[in-house]
Structure 1
Amino acid sequence: MKLLLQNFTKQFINGQWKEGGSLGTIQNYNPYSGEELLTIQAANNDDLNEAYTAAEQAQPIWETMPLGEKQQLFERLVKVLEEKREEIIQWLVQESGSTHIKATVEFEASVTMVKESASFLTRITGQILPSYVPNKEHRVYRTAKGVIGVIGPWNFPFLLTMRSIAPAIATGNSVVIKPASDTPVTSGLLFGEIFEQAGFPAGLVNVIVGRGSEIGDAFVTHPIPCMISFTGSTEVGRRIGELAGKNLKEVALELGGNNVMVVLKDANIERAAKAAAFGKFLHQGQICMALNRIIVDQAIHDEFVEKFTKIVGTLQTGDPANPSTFVGPLINKQQVEGIQQDIQDSVARGATIHLEGIVDSCLMQPVILTNVTNDMPIAKNEIFGPVAPIIKAKDEEEAIKIANDSPYGLSGSVFTEDLHHGVEVAKKIKTGMIHINDQSVNSEPHVPFGGEKASGIGRFNGEWAIDKFTTVKWISVQNGYREYPV
C-alpha cells in the first residue's frame, strides 16, 4: 500500500495546514529500509505560540458544546479511524518499524481507547456535600483543566498519543501535540488529519513538529498549557517535570521501566516460557512495559532456559511488512549501538551469550543472556531491544529482592500455579502494575495504567484519566443569610 503524504510535511494549527517557520527541517525515515519517507519544515516558537493560542480560544467553546453534538463527533471519530485502518497500520509499519502484528494490535487498542474516552462525556460528575454551617450546602463541580500539551513517543506512537488526546478532549480540554521526531506522522500529524476529517472544531487539536533544541523547553514552559502529558524516557521526563514544577504546571509522566518476570519453582514452565518470549520480543522489546529481566528460581532455571530458547529460536526477524515477521527493526542505529555496548559490557562482567543474534543495520535477531546479575548493564538499564537477560534466584525471597533492586517500577509478572500465593508475591514487588501468569505487556483503557518510582507520576485510563484531565471547584451556597458576630 502506497502511503499518501497529503499534508504530512506541514504543521496543523487552528484547523489549517501550514509550513513551519523554522529554518531547520526534520527528516522522516523508514527504520527497516532506510528510505526517506518525507521532510518536514520544522516549527519555531511563533508556530508554537500560534498553536497554544488557538487551543486556548477553542477550549471554552468546546467545553460548553451540547453533549449530543460531542457524542456525534466521537462517533464520527471512530468511523474515520475505521475508514483509515489500513493507512494507519501501514504508517506504523513504515515509520516506526512495527510488525504487522504489533501495528494491528496498536490500531485496535487505539479505537478501544477512543470508545472508552467517549463514555467520559456522561461520566464526569460533581458532588453536593453537607456543611457545619446552618442552611448551607457545598457543591463540588468538575471541569476541564484547559489546554493540555501532549508529547508523543515513538515506540507505540499512535496508541500512546491517543491515550492522552482522547481523554483530554472528552473531558473538555483542547490539546497541542508535539510528536516524537522519529515518528512525526504516527505520534502527531495523523491526529490532525483524523480530527479534521471527523469534524471537530478548529483549534481543538493542533500538531507542532519541531526540534527539541528549538521548541522543546518552550513547549513545557509556555504560559498557556496548564498540564503536560508525556510518555517517554525517564531522563527526558525528569527534565519535563523540572520545567513544569518551576512553572507550577501539572504533569502526567509515563516513563521508563525495568520490568521483571518472576518464575517461581511451581510455575508451568512451558507457559511461562511462551509468555516471556511474547513479553520480551514484541516490537523488538521497544515497549516501556516489555520484560527487561527474567528472574527464575534455580530449581527450574535450566529447564526454563531450554524451553525459552527453543521458542525464541522460532521467532522470525526481518521486514515488518511481512505478516509472519515477529521481530522487526529497532527505531535507529543509535539504539542498536547502545544495546550492543551493554551486551559487551555485561559479557565482560561474566554474562554468557546463550543465544547470539545477528545484527544487520537496524535489525537485531533475539539475544538470550544467562549468568546475568542485577548489577550488569544489561539488567540495570532499560534495554528497549531484543535482548533477554535471565537471572537465577536461589529462592523466592531472593527473587523478590532482585526484582525490587531497581529505580524503576512500571510493570511486571509472576508465574506460579498457586494464584493466591502469586498475588501475595506481587504485592511485595514495588511496581504500578503486575500480572499473575501473564507477561508484563498489558493495557486496557478502563484499568489504571502507570508506574512507581522513576517510572512516572500519575495514572492513565478510565476514571483515573477523568481525574487527571479535570479539576474541581468548590462553590458553597448559603440558603438565607448567615449571622456574623460583628
Structure 2
Amino acid sequence: MLDRRQLAHQYIAGEWRDGRSSRVYQNLNPFDGSLVAEIRLASIEDIDEAYRAAAEAQTVWAQVNPFERQAVMEKALRIWEGYRDDIIQLVADEIGGTYIKAAIEFELVKNFLREAATYPLRMEGRLLPATIPGKENRLLRLPAGVVGILSPFNFPMCLSMRALAPAVACGNGVVLKPHEEAALTGGTLLAKVFEEAGVPRGLVNIVVADVQEIGDAFLEHPIPRIISFTGSTAVGRHIAEVAGRHLKRVTLELGGNSALIVLEDADLDLAVDAAVFSRFTHQGQICMCANRVIAVKDVYDAFLEKFVDRVSKLKVGDPRDPQTVIGPLINRRQVDRLIQVVEASIEQGARAAYRGPVDGNVVGPVVLADVREDMACARDEMFGPVVAVMKVEDEDEAVRVANNSDYGLTGAVITRDVERGLRVAMRVETGMFHVNDGTVNDEPLVAFGGEKASGVGRYNGEWGLEEFTTLKWISIQRERRQYPI
C-alpha cells in the first residue's frame, strides 16, 4: 500500500525529505477541496543538489550491464502493477481523474515501462566504411547524461513516465519537476517505484517547486544535457529560448487545437462515439482532445442532434464514482478561464446547443454549435469539457478549416471510405492523425509528437530511444596513415 505521507516529500539524492524553501504547498482535492498532502517546496539549492546527485549516480548506472538495467526496468513494471488500486484512488483524489481516466493512464504507463525495458539492449553501435585506408569507424549510441523533465497536471503519471522511463533505461540520470498540483501522481509516486526497483541512489530525483521562486534555475543549471517538457505552448517557447541560450537539447510536447472531421459518408453513430471520447475524456484536459468537430453540411444537423443527445446523458460529478465520465477541472482558475471562452464565443454568435451546470470545479459539458473560425472557442485550446461544432461545405473546406490553427498535434476523420480518409490524413498538418477513430491515441511503439506550435521532437519507440541518447564517433587507425603534410 502506498504511504502518502512519504510521497508528500522531495526525493533528492535517494532521500525522502522536506525542501529548503520556506513555503509549504497545500495539495487539495479539486472535487471536494480536502487536503491531499502538504509539501515543503524545493529551493534552488535543492535543485542543484538533485542535479549533482543525478550526475554522480549516472556515471555508475551507465556502466551497469544492459541486461541488469533491463531487469530493473522490468521490476519497476511489476511494482507499478502491484500498486494499481492505490494509484487509481490517488488519481481521483489529487487531480480529479475519473476511474475511466485513471485506468487508461495506468495502462499507458505500463506500456511505456514495457517498451523502455527493451532500450538497454537496443543501445547498438555500428561499423561504418572509411575513405582512409586502414581506418575503422565506430558509431556508438550512448546515454546523454542527465535529463531534466517538466511534466503537467493533466496526465501526470503518463506524461512524466513517457520521458522518465526511457531516460533511465538508456542510462541517464534524471531530475523531474512535476506540476505542483500533481506532485504525487506525476512525481513522487514514480520515484517510489524506481526506488523499489533498485536504481542507484540519486539516479532519479523529484523536486516539487514553485517557478515563481526558482525562476529558470531548473533550465539553466549546467548539468542537464536535455530538457523534456510537456505543457502549454507559451511556456514551451520560453523553455526553448532558455535551453537554446545554453545549447541544451529540448523535446517539447505542447498544446493542441485538434479537429475531428465528419464527412458526409460517415457512420454517425461512430462519429458520435469518437467525438464524445475525443472531447470529454478527463474533462477535456488532454492536449489531444478534439477542440473542434467539423461536420460537412449534409450530415451536420443529424450529427449534432445525436451528439447533443449523447452528451446530455454523460454522468457528471464525483470522480470516485466508477460511473462518472466528467469530474472536476484541476482548479478554479481553469473553470473561470473556460467559462470566459464560452461566454465570449456566445457573444460572437455561437449557439449553446447544450450547456451543463457549473458546481464548484465541476463544469458540465458544453456543446457550442454554428461556430465560426474567428470565434474564441475555435481559436483557443479549451482545456475543459467544451466542444466547438462547425459546419462546412465539403471535404476541401473541412481540411482548410482544420489547418486554420497555429497548432498541429493530432486529428481524426470519420468516413466509410478508408482511402478517402487516408487522403484527408495526408492533407491535415499534424504530427498524428487517425482514420475512423478519435483524436486521443498513444501507442508505445509509435512516434508521438506534433507540428507547428504543438511541439518539437518525438516520444515513444525508437524515437524515444533517439531523444534520450547521443551518438559518438570513434575511429581506429589500424595501419600507418599517410598524411598530406
Q: Give the drift of 1:216.
A: 4.1
CA distance in 2, matches of 1:215, 1:265: 53
Q: Give the drift of 1:68.
A: 2.7
Q: Give the drift of 1:9.
A: 2.6
In the alignment, residue 330 of structure 1 is paired with which amino acid? Answer: L
Q: How many residue pairs end up in the alignment?
A: 485
Aligned equivalent of 1:341: 340
Q: What SS is found at the alignment partner of 2:139?
A: strand
Asked whether the 8 Å contact 2:291–2:381 carries over to 1, the reply is yes
Asked whether the 8 Å contact 2:119–2:166 carries over to 1, the reply is yes
Asked whether the 8 Å contact 1:3–1:91 carries over to 2, the reply is no
Over aligned residue pairs, what C-alpha RMSD do you find?
A: 1.0
TM alignment of 1:163-242, pairs within 5 A = 163-242=162-241
Q: What SS is found at the alignment partner of 2:180?
A: coil
CA distance in 1, matches of 2:178, 2:77: 22
Aligned equivalent of 1:296: 295
CA distance in 2, matches of 1:345, 1:74: 49
Q: Give the drift of 1:137.
A: 2.3
* Structure 1 gap ranges (5+): none
The C-alpha deviation readout for 1:14-69, integer Å capped at 9, x for no partner, is: 11111110111211010001112111111101111000000000001101101232
TM alignment of 1:361-376, pairs within 5 A = 361-376=360-375
1:131 aligns with 2:126: no
The C-alpha deviation readout for 1:138-175, integer Å capped at 9, x for no partner, is: 11111000000011110000011000000001111010
Q: What SS is found at the alignment partner of 1:385?
A: coil
Aligned equivalent of 2:444: 445
CA distance in 1, matches of 2:447, 2:319: 31
Q: What SS is found at the alignment partner of 1:228?
A: strand
TM alignment of 1:401-420, pairs within 5 A = 401-420=400-419
The C-alpha deviation readout for 1:393-450, integer Å capped at 9, x for no partner, is: 0111111110000000001001111111111111110000000000100001110000
Aligned equivalent of 1:69: 68
Asked whether the 8 Å contact 1:11–1:19 carries over to 2, the reply is yes
In the alignment, residue 365 of structure 2 is paired with which amino acid? Answer: P
CA distance in 1, matches of 2:395, 2:410: 19
Aligned equivalent of 1:354: 353
In the alignment, residue 166 of structure 1 is paired with which amino acid? Answer: A
1:4 aligns with 2:13: no
The C-alpha deviation readout for 1:228-268, integer Å capped at 9, x for no partner, is: 10111111111111110111100010000000001111111
CA distance in 1, matches of 2:310, 2:484: 80
Aligned equivalent of 1:465: 464
CA distance in 2, matches of 1:194, 1:332: 28
Asked whether the 8 Å contact 2:2–2:83 carries over to 1, the reply is no
1:86 aligns with 2:85: yes
Q: Give the drift of 1:108.
A: 1.3
TM alignment of 1:99-118, pairs within 5 A = 99-118=98-117
Asked whether the 8 Å contact 1:141–1:473 carries over to 2, the reply is yes
Q: What SS is found at the alignment partner of 2:7?
A: coil
TM-score normalised by L of structure 2: 0.99
In the alignment, residue 200 of structure 2 is paired with which amino acid? Answer: P
Q: Give the drift of 1:350.
A: 0.6
* Structure 2 gap ranges (5+): none
Q: Give the drift of 1:485.
A: 3.0
CA distance in 2, matches of 1:289, 1:68: 35
Q: What SS is found at the alignment partner of 1:300?
A: helix
CA distance in 2, matches of 1:207, 1:215: 15
Q: What SS is found at the alignment partner of 1:301?
A: helix
CA distance in 1, matches of 2:345, 2:172: 47
Q: Percent identity of the aligned residues?
A: 47
Aligned equivalent of 1:21: 20
The C-alpha deviation readout for 1:325-381, integer Å capped at 9, x for no partner, is: 011100011111111111111111110000011001100111101110111111100
Aligned equivalent of 1:436: 435
The C-alpha deviation readout for 1:194-246, integer Å capped at 9, x for no partner, is: 11112211011000011111224100010000111011111111111111011
Aligned equivalent of 2:144: 145
CA distance in 2, matches of 1:400, 1:72: 47
TM-score normalised by L of structure 1: 0.98
CA distance in 2, matches of 1:76, 1:401: 48
In the alignment, residue 469 of structure 1 is paired with which amino acid? Answer: F
